[in-house]
Amino acid sequence: MRRLVAAVLLALALQLPAAAQPFSPDQKKAIEEIVRAYILKNPEIIREAVEALQAKEQQSAEERRVEALARLKDELAFDPGSPVLGNPTGDVTVVEFFDYRCPYCKRTAPVIDQLVKEDGRIRRVMKEFPILGPESLFASRVALAAKAQDKYEPMHRLLIAAKGALDQETVMKLAKEAGLDMAQLKRDLNSAAIDEALKKNRDLAGQLEITGTPAFIIGKEFVPGAAELDTFKTIVARARKG
């Protein structure tokens, strides 16, 4: 309430001539009483003000993201540190930020797999974005280490399909199942290349204001969260039209 009253007082003050004297204590008290009485009589204006502010903030965020998508399009689509699945020469690129422990990522993965399989011309860029704790980070490091052995895809599929905890023991068992050279994996796990790839992904997510997973960039569009197959197909079709 005090913040709202202060805002009203400021607005009133800004409308006064430059030479006007500041409000006296009695004047401020009278204005506060008027504002308070009006709000108590019309409480819906608080909700309307909050909704208007949220809409304005959302619009500003969308405008910033549009600008960032245009500026970062090459880094998003062609960073050599990001694994590529699907059709490497596809005419539409789907960039995916994900976390192996994210239930929505796990739920959406089969949908994207189906999209890529049915379409045949989608280039899928994988942005490891482990935001759900140390287990997520370790899983991402193993997946990126698997890339050095040309086994990123089988490792990724095992991790994204895994149910339950993804502790280090479980992840290393999955690595063996994916056919990785375990000695090389252990050497590569803490490589500077993996550090750099994860840092780039965090930086890109920060500039795009991505705070959750999954998140997709398809053409010029940002898709937050899970979506249905038909929705993805529609967005891909728009991307093809430019």
CA–CA separation, 105 and 161 (whole Å): 10
- The tens digit of pLDDT for each residue in 9-31 reads 445 554 555 545 677 888 878 87
46 and 92 both lie in a single domain: no
184 and 162: one domain? yes
Q: Is residue 164 part of a domain?
A: yes
Q: How far apart are CA 64 and CA 52, in angstroms?
A: 18
141 within a domain of the structure (yes/no): yes
- How confident is the prediction for the chain on average, in pLDDT? 88
- Determine what percent of the chain is predicted with pLDDT higher than 90: 69
Pair (153, 174) in one structural domain: yes
Range of the domain at 129: 83-241
Residues 58 and 93 in one domain: no
- Shared domain check, 162 and 63: no
| pLDDT for the residue 229 | 97
Between residues 58 and 130, which one has the greater pLDDT?
A: 130
The one-letter code for the residue type at 159 is L
Which residues does residue 127 pair with via DSSP β-bridges, in sequence order? Answer: 97
Count of structural domains within the chain: 2
Domain-terminating residue out of 13, 41, 71: 71
Same domain, 229 and 168: yes
Is the domain of 165 the same as that of 197? yes
Residue 115 lies in a domain: yes
Q: Which residue has the higher pLDDT, 33 or 127?
A: 127
Q: Which residue has the tokens 């998140």?
A: 215
What does the pLDDT average to over 50-61? 66
CATH of the domain at 113: 3.40.30.10
Q: Which of 71, 92, 116 finishes a domain? A: 71
98: left (phi over 0), alpha (psi -120 to 50) or beta: beta
Is there a single domain that holds both residue 112 and residue 187? yes
Question: pLDDT tens digit string along 108-129?
Answer: 999 999 999 999 999 999 999 9
Q: Give the whole-number percent of the chain exceeding pLDDT 70.
A: 87
Does residue 195 sit within a domain? yes
* 136 and 17 assigned to the same domain: no
Same domain, residue pair 37 and 95 = no
Residue 77 located in a structural domain: no
| pLDDT over 90 (residue 32) | no
Q: What span, in angstroms and rounded, lies between the C-alpha atoms of 97 and 111? A: 15
DSSP string, the chain: -HHHHHHHHHHHHHHS-TTPPPPPHHHHHHHHHHHHHHHHH-THHHHHHHHHHHHHHHHHHHHHHHHHHHHTHHHHHH-TTS-EEE-TT-SEEEEEEE-TT-HHHHHHHHHHHHHHHHHS-EEEEEEE---S-HHHHHHHHHHHHHHTTT-HHHHHHHHHH--S---HHHHHHHHHHTT--HHHHHHHTT-HHHHHHHHHHHHHHHHTT--SS-EEEETTEEEES---HHHHHHHHHHHHH-
If asked whether residues 98 and 137 sit together in one domain, one would say: yes
CA distances from 7 to 10, 13, 24, 31, 204 (A): 5, 10, 17, 12, 36
Q: What is the pLDDT of residues 185-233, one digit of tens each?
A: 999 999 999 999 999 999 999 999 999 999 999 998 999 999 999 999 9
Does some domain include residue 152? yes
Least Cα distance to 177 among 205, 195, 156, 192 occurs for 156
Residue 124: inside a domain, yes or no?
yes
Q: How far is the C-alpha of 220 from the C-alpha of 229, rounded, in Å?
A: 18
Does 44 share its domain with 88?
no
What distance lies between CA 149 and its chain's CA centroid?
Answer: 28
pTM: 0.76
pLDDT > 90? residue 240: yes
Final residue belonging to a domain, choices 40, 71, 102: 71
